[in-house]
């Protein structure tokens, strides 16, 4: 048996006005604390040459708990804010970009770690300081699973809850079947067995609808009520397209892993191939469609690595053959 970590995401439904207001306030408070902690670290380093640790910032955080709208936020969520900032700095020290300010629309989630079987049921969760919330319960969490944490995410069409848990699964049986994959334009990909996997028609339908909505937005007066209404409509449509794309890529990658033991793919240099794509979302250049397609292929390749790691307990990047 393999020990794996999984995450199930559910949409929250029938939230009361108080719960909705409280969640929005919590997200905003966590965003404020993140930016304040980042500003404090920058000032301490520039003024005194001191690199404040997460524990140093935690001492400063306690002084903010007298502020009413911060005091209401679960303490574990505020602790998670400092952990996120610490991870951002660790990534920076390893060669990544410098930590950025948390912007509205980008920093849109809070984490709760006190999630147990006692406060979880079929389609409902009891959360600290929030009470019971109901979800569209699409998948059941295994009874033997050990719950780790819950993340509440604010998206354009409402709030979602993401439950992380550890469980066991049977490893895939050995398979000597080998296949090569060729990414295409007319078809999503073609296997060396001659199988063509087409892009989902539903995805193409919504892409056409997206272009119509983008043109409609461009004709609205920027800043007006109609512009804001159309912008919200466009954001919701983009989120729906992203979910359709993600679902399709997961299903394709998983089906390939279940069918074949070894997979060879073309080692695409996506950044080099898409750097010259011109155009905007309002006026698509001739290469923008190709660029979005290549990015989709890149993410499918990453999902193949994920499914290999998840189902075999091996390094997916090493098991995926490139040519």
Predicted structure pTM score = 0.79
Round the CA-based radius of gyration of the chain to a whole number and report it: 23
Reported as a single tens digit per residue, the pLDDT across 246-266 is 888 888 888 888 888 888 876
Does residue 143 sit in the same domain as residue 209? no
Considering 119, 143, 170, which residue would you say is the last residue of a domain?
A: 170
Strands 196-197 and 131-135: unpaired
Considering 134, 154, 170, which residue would you say is the last residue of a domain?
A: 170
Q: Which residue has the tokens 């069918």?
A: 259
CB 213 within 8 A of CB 206: no
Q: Is 129 left (phi over 0), alpha (psi -120 to 50) or beta?
A: left
Does residue 25 sit in the same domain as residue 155? yes
pLDDT value, residue 297: 60
Does residue 152 sit in the same domain as residue 222? no
Cα 314 from Cα 306, distance rounded (Å): 10
Does residue 200 sit in the same domain as residue 295? yes
Does residue 216 sit in the same domain as residue 309? yes
Does residue 18 sit in the same domain as residue 155? yes
Does residue 68 sit in the same domain as residue 184? no
Domain that holds residue 1: 1-170
pLDDT value, residue 320: 54
Long-range Cβ pairs for the range 18-23 (8 Å, 24+): 19/130, 19/131, 19/133, 20/159, 22/72, 22/129, 22/130, 23/110, 23/130, 23/152, 23/154, 23/159
List, as one string, the DSSP characters of 246-313: HHHHHHHHHHHHHH-SEEEE----HHHHHTT--B-SSSB-TTHHHHHHHHHHHHHHHHHHHHHHHHHS
Q: Where are the alpha helices (DSSP H) in 147-269?
A: 201-218, 225-259
pLDDT value, residue 308: 66
Q: How many beta carbons lie within 10 A of that of residue 267, not counting itself? A: 10
Q: How many beta carbons lie within 10 A of that of residue 207, not counting itself? A: 16
Does residue 131 sit in the same domain as residue 21? yes
Cα 48 from Cα 40, distance rounded (Å): 12
Does residue 70 sit in the same domain as residue 191? no
Reported as a single tens digit per residue, the pLDDT across 193-248 is 889 888 777 778 888 999 999 999 999 999 999 999 999 999 999 988 888 888 88
Considering 170, 186, 208, which residue would you say is the last residue of a domain?
A: 170
Nearest to 210 by CA among 200, 202, 222, 221: 202
Residues in the chain predicted with pLDDT less than 50, given as ranges, are 273-274, 276-291, 294, 315-319, 322-323
Does residue 231 sit in the same domain as residue 132? no
Number of independent structural domains in the chain: 2
């Amino acid at each position: 048996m393999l020990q794996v970590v999984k995450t199930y995401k559910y949409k929250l439904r029938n939230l009361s006005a108080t719960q909705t207001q409280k969640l929005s306030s919590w997200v905003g408070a966590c965003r404020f604390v993140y930016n304040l902690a980042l500003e404090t670290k920058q000032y301490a380093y520039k003024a005194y040459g001191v690199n404040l640790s997460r524990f140093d910032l935690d001492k400063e955080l306690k002084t903010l708990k007298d502020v009413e709208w911060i005091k209401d936020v679960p303490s574990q969520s505020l602790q998670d804010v400092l952990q996120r900032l610490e991870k951002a700095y660790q990534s920076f020290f390893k060669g990544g970009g410098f930590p950025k300010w948390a912007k509205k629309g980008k920093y849109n989630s809070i984490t709760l770690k006190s999630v147990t079987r006692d406060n979880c049921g079929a389609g409902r969760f009891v959360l600290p300081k929030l009470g019971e919330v109901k979800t569209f319960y699409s998948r059941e969490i295994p009874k033997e699973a050990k719950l780790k944490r819950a993340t509440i995410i604010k998206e354009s069409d409402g709030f979602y809850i993401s439950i992380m848990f550890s469980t066991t699964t049977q490893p895939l049986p050995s398979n000597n079947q080998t296949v090569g994959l060729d990414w295409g334009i007319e078809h999503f990909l073609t296997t060396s067995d001659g199988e063509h996997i087409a892009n989902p028609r539903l995805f193409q339908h919504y892409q056409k609808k997206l272009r119509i909505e983008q043109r409609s937005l461009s004709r609205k007066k920027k800043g007006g009520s109609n512009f804001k209404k159309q912008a919200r409509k466009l954001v919701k449509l983009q989120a729906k397209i992203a979910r359709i794309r993600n679902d399709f890529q997961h299903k394709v990658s998983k089906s390939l892993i279940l069918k074949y033991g070894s997979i060879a793919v073309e080692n695409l240099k996506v950044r080099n191939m898409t750097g010259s794509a011109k155009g905007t979302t309002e006026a698509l250049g001739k290469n923008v469609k190709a660029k979005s397609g290549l990015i989709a292929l890149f993410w499918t390749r990453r999902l193949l690595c994920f499914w290999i790691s998840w189902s075999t307990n091996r390094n997916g990047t090493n098991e995926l053959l490139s040519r």
